[in-house]
Amino acid sequence: MTDYLNIKLSEGEIRGLSNLGLAHIGDCVYELMVRSRIICSGRSTSGGLHRETVKYVSAPAQAEAVSKILPVLTDAERDVYRRGRNTRVNSVPKNADISQYHAATGLEALFGWLYLNGCHDRLNELFAIIMEEA
């Protein structure tokens, strides 16, 4: 049985994924990390949980998060971020401009790439930098 919570793909398998595929899984990884952080802080009402989560997972918030981690990214991580950021998208949410949405897609692609490579420590390291001032 495949352990989808601790999946680790080969380099070839990851290279075969589209940038949007990486962003798709990365979006989930990032949101799971945000939600985990929020519930560990003791918030408990459903409305409060949702509002707090949205503050961190919206495209503008993710674009701001990118600015915090860009200086510490490795060359390989920067390349993945750049490829995700440059991916053509068909729509942009009403609460974000196109540059914010592209930056958010790049962040999600990076988090997806790290997750699929099994780099959980690095994910936690980058997430801690993003959440430092929060």
In a domain, 7, yes or no: no
Residue 50 sits in a domain whose CATH number is: 1.10.1520.10
In a domain, 124, yes or no: yes
Report the predicted TM-score, pTM, of the whole model to 2 decimal places.
Answer: 0.92
Identify the pLDDT of residue 134.
Answer: 61
Range of the domain at 41: 20-131
| Over residues 5-15, mean pLDDT | 89
In this structure, the number of other CB atoms found within 10 A of the CB of residue 45 comes to 9
Report pLDDT digits (tens) over 56-113. 999 999 999 999 999 999 999 999 999 999 988 777 677 778 889 999 999 999 999 9
In a domain, 10, yes or no: no
27 is catalytic: yes
Distances from the Cα of 25 to the Cα of 17, 54, 118, angstroms: 11, 18, 13
- Which of 130 and 48 is assigned the larger pLDDT? 130
Identify the pLDDT of residue 47.
Answer: 75
Choice among 27, 79, 97, 121 that is catalytic: 27
Average pLDDT, the chain: 91
In a domain, 8, yes or no: no
In the chain, the number of structural domains is 1
